[in-house]
Amino acid sequence: MKPVLAAGAVISDASGRLLLVKRGHDPERGCWSVPGGHVEPGEAPKEAAAREVFEETGLRVSVGRELWSTLIEYPDGQSFEIHDFVAHVDGGHLVAGDDADDARWMTPAEVARASLAAGLGERLRQAGYL
């Protein structure tokens, strides 16, 4: 089965906090992740990252360079090719929306203690966020 193409954004504020969302749907329902989701047909991953951030958090962002891409395979046979980008908030008001059960700014210590989506903690550490 071909992996589902997905994109997300790693967003930090001036205090070094990271913006995370609590997943409201499977896969990994209840886990914290960077905002993101499926890339729509004809949509570039950067465009998808900005759209998904807005849908899940109510924040408008500028999307910059790609931080990483990864392939995540789940036991049910589903797999996702995920491209995560650095992004900066341009406006909006933080509110959990779309398929996010919660959205909040977390300190690196809070992120390290949170139940994170598969491999996210390691990728954030490698990128220097934790």
Question: Which domains are present in the chain?
Answer: 4-126 (3.90.79.10)
Single-letter code of the amino acid located at 15: S
> What DSSP designation does 42 have?
T
* Torsion angle of C-alpha atoms 72, 5, 83, 16, degrees rounded to 10: -80
Q: pLDDT digit string (tens) for 41-67?
A: 999 999 999 999 999 999 999 999 999
pLDDT band of residue 26 (cuts 50, 70, 90) is confident
Core vs surface per residue 85-94: b (16+ CB within 10 A) or e: bbbebeeeee
> What DSSP designation does 39 have?
P
Q: pLDDT digit string (tens) for 68-94?
A: 999 999 888 889 999 999 999 999 999
Query: Furthest-apart CA pair in the chain: how many Å?
Result: 42
